[in-house]
């Protein structure tokens, strides 16, 4: 329908004129076809007439026969002239044959029946199509304008995709490493819990050792400040006290104190045994010897309180320490557990014990 829009808009008179012209050219074509077909039979007709004249009697002369044939030819021609009514003189549309001419006439008649609403709708459709075409052309122009930027962005997008893939691989590796570390942390936490339990169990002994070290440091300070002129006497008294308590009598040959008041436990070869890792019991004996020496050389008596006196001592040292403590001239208070100063150890010092007290533990509420 859209391709016939020009014919639909040209108006009814023009379409009627075109149809009339095509009809007249159709008449011309049929007239020419009939005349051409008749001309092809004319000579045969004249030959038949001439043969018939030769049979006449009397016979016709040659001139008479020629005259008859010319008359017949003239009469034949008059059968086709004048041409029929409504016959075109020439062809204005020679490119159309009879069938095509008929189709054009039918189409023109259909357009004659086409109303104004249909034409308006057709025009609206054309306008919409033109608008859509314009939008497509604009889109093509914009696309062509941004094509270089699209290539750049495509390359950038490809690069970003590669980076993302690399980051994903790194994240995977980090997650695996994190899982391994979490497993190690779990094991470390287990070990820490175990060590914390062991530390809690060792806390009382550690506190006692810390107190002993603190006392030793305090005594060292007292020695350094109070009796710098009696260093040799203190060293000799420490040697005597230490040998009375230690069961390895030949291990420490003597105790020496230098001008800086540094105390040394020297063996027979002159090697300072304090440079080695002494046991808790050996440290206690050393501290006790120092306290006894200071007390003896100073000439001043003071009471001594010893908590768990045998807790860090082996069997060989226990009796030596107890006998040394009971030989002191001044009061000694021993805070013993039920596994220390009992049995043979208590019997060993019984003649020197003035009072004994038993402390009972009693829980009161949530305290104790």
* Domain ranges within the chain, ordered by starting residue: 2-114, 227-352
Average per-residue pLDDT in the chain? 81
The model's confidence at residue 226, banded by pLDDT at 50, 70 and 90, is low
Closest CA to 228 of 264, 260, 272, 256: 260
Class of the CATH domain delimited by 227-352: alpha beta
Please give the model's pTM, rounded to 2 decimal places: 0.37
What are the pLDDT digits (tens) for 62-92? 888 889 888 888 888 777 788 888 899 899 9
Q: Quick one: how far is CA 200 from the chain centroid?
A: 45
Are residues 282 and 275 in contact, defined by beta-carbon separation less than 8 angstroms?
no
Closest CA to 317 of 238, 223, 245: 245
Q: Is 13 exposed, middle or buried (0-12, 13-18, 19+ CB in 10 A)?
A: exposed
How far is 255 from 246, CA to CA, in rounded Å?
Answer: 13
Structure-token pair, residue 344 = 């043979």
Are residues 332 and 360 in contact, defined by beta-carbon separation less than 8 angstroms?
no
What are the pLDDT digits (tens) for 252-309? 888 888 877 788 888 878 888 777 777 777 788 888 888 888 877 877 777 888 888 7
């Amino acid at each position: 329908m859209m391709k016939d829009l020009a014919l639909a808009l040209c108006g009814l008179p023009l379409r009627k004129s075109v149809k009339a012209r095509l009809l007249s050219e159709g008449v011309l074509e049929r007239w020419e076809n009939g005349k051409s077909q008749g001309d092809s039979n004319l000579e045969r007709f004249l030959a038949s007439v001439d043969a018939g004249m030769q049979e006449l009697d009397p016979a016709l002369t040659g001139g008479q026969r020629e005259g008859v044939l010319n008359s017949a030819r003239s009469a034949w021609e008059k059968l086709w002239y004048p041409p029929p009514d409504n016959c075109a003189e020439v062809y204005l549309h020679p490119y159309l044959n009879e069938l095509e001419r008929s189709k054009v006439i039918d189409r023109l008649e259909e357009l004659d029946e086409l109303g104004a609403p249909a034409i308006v709708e057709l025009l609206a459709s054309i306008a919409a199509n033109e608008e859509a075409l314009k939008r497509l052309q604009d889109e093509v122009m914009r696309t062509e304008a941004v094509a270089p930027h699209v290539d750049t962005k495509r390359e950038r997008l490809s690069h970003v995709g590669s980076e993302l893939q690399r980051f994903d691989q790194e994240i995977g590796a980090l997650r695996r490493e994190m899982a391994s570390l979490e497993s190690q942390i779990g094991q470390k936490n287990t070990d820490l819990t175990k060590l914390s339990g062991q530390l809690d169990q060792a806390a009382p002994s550690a506190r006692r050792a810390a107190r002993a070290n603190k006392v030793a440091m305090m005594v060292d300070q007292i020695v350094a400040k109070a009796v710098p002129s009696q260093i040799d006497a203190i060293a000799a008294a420490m040697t005597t006290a230490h040998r009375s308590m230690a069961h390895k009598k030949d291990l420490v040959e003597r105790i020496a104190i230098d001008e800086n008041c540094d105390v040394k436990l020297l063996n027979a070869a002159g090697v300072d045994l304090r440079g080695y890792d002494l046991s808790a019991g050996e440290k206690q004996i050393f501290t006790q010897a120092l306290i006894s020496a200071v007390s003896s050389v100073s000439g001043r008596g003071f009471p001594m309180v010893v908590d768990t006196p045998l807790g860090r001592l082996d069997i060989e040292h226990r009796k030596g320490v107890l006998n040394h403590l009971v030989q002191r001239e001044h009061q000694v208070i021993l805070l013993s557990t039920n596994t220390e100063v009992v049995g043979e150890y208590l019997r060993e010092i019984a003649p020197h014990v003035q009072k004994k007290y038993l402390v009972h533990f009693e829980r009161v509420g949530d305290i104790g």
